[in-house]
Amino acid sequence: MGLETNVSTIHDLDADWPLDSDPRAQGAAHIRTIKSAIQETFPNINAVIPVSASKLLALINSFNDDGAYNANNATIPNVKAAESDLDAVNRQQMTTAIQSETDARTSAIQNIENAAPLSGNYAVVTSTGDKIGLGGHLNGGSGRIWFGYDGGGADLAWESDVSNLSNIVVSNNNTITSRVSQLENSDNNKLSKSGDSMSGNLFMNGNAIYTNSGGSRIQFESNGHLSMWDNSNNAIFWLSMSDGNPATVNMTAPAYANRGLTNGSPPASGDSSNSVPTTAWVQNALPMGSNMRIEAWTQEANYGDWVNYPTSFSNNAEAIATISTLDNGRPVLCAFGNETSSGFNFYPRRVDQNGSSNADTGITYKFLAIGPK
């Protein structure tokens, strides 16, 4: 019989080989095959393994048939005491460690239970939100006692803190009382309501509101102004003044309320004969219904461009006009199409000697449109 072939592990060896009749010369080859199979089966064993049969069997029994480790079957007898963090521990070591930890925790709990709590449960009414006090210490940052309770904590004030605060409040109250008294006793700091009387002036920036034989007056410093504001902090009316010049009235809203605008010198108190209603004054100067609005703007536009109103009307414009510079010395006629409330198509044509043609590009036009608000 020949030598065994295809032997990789001990399992591949044939227990019936070699035969008694095999040549002695093949004995060395058979021995080499056996040694190779052992080394291939245990490739990582590079030291003596002094394990007993009982320990080896215990290790084998700790695994199920499918190869999964089963801790319930794992019993390794005579494990020596661990000497480092990576060593296995024996039963005695484990029991001692567990007992030591248990004793330490029990002692800590007893210390907590035996310690006198800061407030305990005395007079604590949890239904009203009372919290049990947990501890206190000196806050090194604030220099005050910090009190802790179930759910939070805060610094406590020293008696001196409360005393100082009380002194500050009293001082401030005295200051306020004194100032109010000064205001009440000074005619120069009054603004009278209808029916009251006062002497002297109410000063504003060194000037005054006062009454004389000519009627009620508001006196401004040079270049001063009087303004009214809405709830969004926007100025809606302001009256600007400068020495020797007529007053300038500025409004951000249309002047449609009937108020008197005086022509000429201020009238005597109660005299409105020389006044006209604001609405009538605006409509006489610019005859346009109160439901209409003017849009005027400058824009570069080319033939066929769409031009938007700066602010859309509620409907199509009533009138559209435009002015432009000459195009190569020729006037430009402008037409409009496809009008909507937001804009229109623009068609500028240059008037040539023998007809007309589209106006050159890059011309800036001045537009004016009148339409409904």
The CATH number given to whatever domain includes residue 300 is: 2.60.40.2080
Is 355 part of a structural domain of the chain? Answer: yes
Q: Are residues 297 and 281 in the same domain?
A: no
Q: Are residues 223 and 247 in the same domain?
A: yes
Peptide bond into 277 cis (omega under 30): no
Q: Are residues 227 and 271 in the same domain?
A: yes
Asked whether the CA dihedral 308, 313, 318, 323 is positive or negative, the reply is negative
Report how far residue 236's alpha carbon sits from residue 250's, in angstroms, rounded to the nearest whole number: 8
Indicate if the pLDDT at residue 341 is higher than 50: yes
- Can you give the length of the chain in residues? 373
Q: 12-16, 35-39, 58-62, 212-216 — which is least confidently predicted?
A: 212-216
Q: How confident is the model at residue 191 (pLDDT cuts 50, 70, 90)?
A: low
| Most confident among 133-137, 212-216, 245-249, 299-303 (mean pLDDT) | 299-303
Q: What is the pLDDT of residues 66-82, one digit of tens each?
A: 767 666 665 656 666 66
Q: What are the two backbone dihedrals, phi and then psi, of residue 34, each rounded to the nearest 5 degrees?
A: -65, -45
What are the distances in angstroms from CA 198 to CA 77, 92, 218?
Answer: 112, 104, 16
Domain final position from 229, 254, 285: 285
The mean pLDDT value for 224-251 works out to 65
| Most confident among 147-161, 202-216, 255-269 (mean pLDDT) | 147-161
Is 68 part of a structural domain of the chain? Answer: yes
Residue 217 structural domain: 202-285
Other CB atoms within a 10 A radius of the CB of residue 267 amount to: 16
Q: Are residues 227 and 281 in the same domain?
A: yes
Indicate if the pLDDT at residue 30 is higher than 80: yes
Indicate if the pLDDT at residue 33 is higher than 50: yes
Q: Are residues 37 and 59 in the same domain?
A: yes
What are the distances in angstroms from CA 5 to CA 13, 29, 34?
Answer: 9, 11, 11
Is 96 part of a structural domain of the chain? Answer: no
Check if the beta carbon of residue 337 is closer than 8 Å to that of residue 344.
yes
Q: Is 311 left (phi over 0), alpha (psi -120 to 50) or beta?
A: beta
Is 155 part of a structural domain of the chain? Answer: no
Report how far residue 263's alpha carbon sits from residue 280's, in angstroms, rounded to the nearest whole number: 14
Indicate if the pLDDT at residue 258 is higher than 60: no
Indicate if the pLDDT at residue 334 is higher than 70: yes
Beta-bridged to residue 345, according to DSSP, are 306, 337
Structural domains of the chain, count: 3
Residue 197 exposed, middle or buried by CB count within 10 Å (0-12, 13-18, 19+)? exposed
Report how far residue 170's alpha carbon sits from residue 94's, in angstroms, rounded to the nearest whole number: 71
Q: Are residues 368 and 317 in the same domain?
A: yes
Q: Are residues 209 and 276 in the same domain?
A: yes
What is the value of pTM for the model shown?
0.30
Top pLDDT among 262 and 233 is at 233
Name the CA radius of gyration of the chain, rounded: 53
Q: What is the pLDDT of residues 96-112, one digit of tens each?
A: 888 888 888 888 777 76
Structure-token pair, residue 51: 């394990």
Q: Are residues 280 and 297 in the same domain?
A: no
Domain final position from 254, 285, 316: 285
Q: What is the pLDDT of residues 280-332, one digit of tens each?
A: 545 555 667 778 889 999 999 889 999 999 999 999 998 898 877 777 777 88
Among residues 191, 192, 185, the alpha carbon closest in space to that of 204 is found at 191
The mean pLDDT value for 264-275 works out to 49
Domain final position from 244, 262, 285: 285
| DSSP-H helix ranges across 89-148 | 91-114
Is 215 part of a structural domain of the chain? Answer: yes
Indicate if the pLDDT at residue 362 is higher than 60: yes
Indicate if the pLDDT at residue 187 is higher than 50: yes
Indicate if the pLDDT at residue 274 is higher than 60: no
Top pLDDT among 356 and 47 is at 47
Check if the beta carbon of residue 173 is closer than 8 Å to that of residue 160.
no
Peptide bond into 348 cis (omega under 30): no
Residues 6+ apart with CB under 8 A from 138: 144, 145, 146
| Most confident among 142-156, 177-191, 269-283 (mean pLDDT) | 142-156
Q: Are residues 338 and 310 in the same domain?
A: yes
